[in-house]
Amino acid sequence: MSRGALPDSDETVPIVNDLAAAIIGAPEVAVFESLYAAHAGEARRLAAAILGDSELAADAVHAGFLEMLRYIVSGKRWHDADAARSVVMRNVRWAALKSHRSRKGVSLGLDRPTADASSDVQWAQAEARELAEQIVARLSPLHRVAIRMRYVDGLSNVESARLLEIHVDAFESRVRQALRAARRVARANGLDLGTAAP
């Protein structure tokens, strides 16, 4: 399924992170998850070295990667792995230094082991989903229902139309309108989604 396109009427929609992919774009979510999986461990070590606290380091890493998500959805890409890594580390360093300045050297003594790589991917997916859910929460009830049925409940267009007692074309139109509205909300909140289909 291409960005902005609807699945066929009878196509089963995978539930996992499909809402984030529908709003933000599947390629963007995949790039974000890949960057997080590749660099989160090193980023955590960098932030921990600056902050001396694994819990605060995890917060700094998450803040840095949220900025990466903003870059990615605005269309920024890197042509080599070193350039992408450099941007990740710069964002995490910035978030860690900001945290360090704000707490003025106070150690909370919350040293905990770092999470493994599978939880890194899960975190990236959860963050993308959370962003999508925040966007959907700002939509009209009619649009929220259409998105919920299609991307959360995983119902086909036919099943959804039948439940709402409307024609399939009307439901497909409602989903397209809901996705356009979600993209407008995302842009209004600082996410540049590039040239997403209307």
pLDDT in tens, 49-107: 888 888 888 888 888 888 888 878 777 777 788 888 888 888 888 888 777 767 654 33
Same domain, 147 and 68: no
On whether residue 54 sits in a domain, the answer given is yes
On whether residue 3 sits in a domain, the answer given is no
Q: Of 53, 85, 106, which one is at a domain's C-terminal end?
A: 106
In this predicted structure, what is the pLDDT of residue 107? 36
Under-70 pLDDT residues of the chain: 1-18, 20-21, 24, 101, 103-121, 123-124, 126-127, 189-198
On whether residue 10 sits in a domain, the answer given is no
Same domain, 185 and 144: yes
Q: CATH number for the domain including 188?
A: 1.10.10.10
On whether residue 12 sits in a domain, the answer given is no
Label residue 5 left, alpha or beta by phi (over 0 means left) and psi (-120 to 50 means alpha).
beta
> Among all chains, which residue has been given the structure tokens 């890949």?
34
Rounded CA-CA distance 84/12 in Å is 34
Where do the H-state alpha helices sit in the chain? Answer: 18-24, 26-51, 54-73, 81-103, 117-137, 141-147, 157-164, 168-188
What's the chain's length in residues?
198
Helix axes 26-51, 81-103, angle to 10 degrees: 50
Q: How many domains does the chain have?
A: 2
Residue 89 neighbours by CB under 8 Å, 6+ apart: 39, 42, 43, 46
On whether residue 114 sits in a domain, the answer given is no
Asked whether the beta carbons of 196 and 3 are under 8 A apart, the reply is yes
Same domain, 149 and 76: no
In this predicted structure, what is the pLDDT of residue 170? 95
Asked whether the beta carbons of 20 and 10 are under 8 A apart, the reply is no
Same domain, 96 and 172: no
Residue 184 neighbours by CB under 8 Å, 6+ apart: none
Same domain, 77 and 29: yes
On whether residue 196 sits in a domain, the answer given is yes
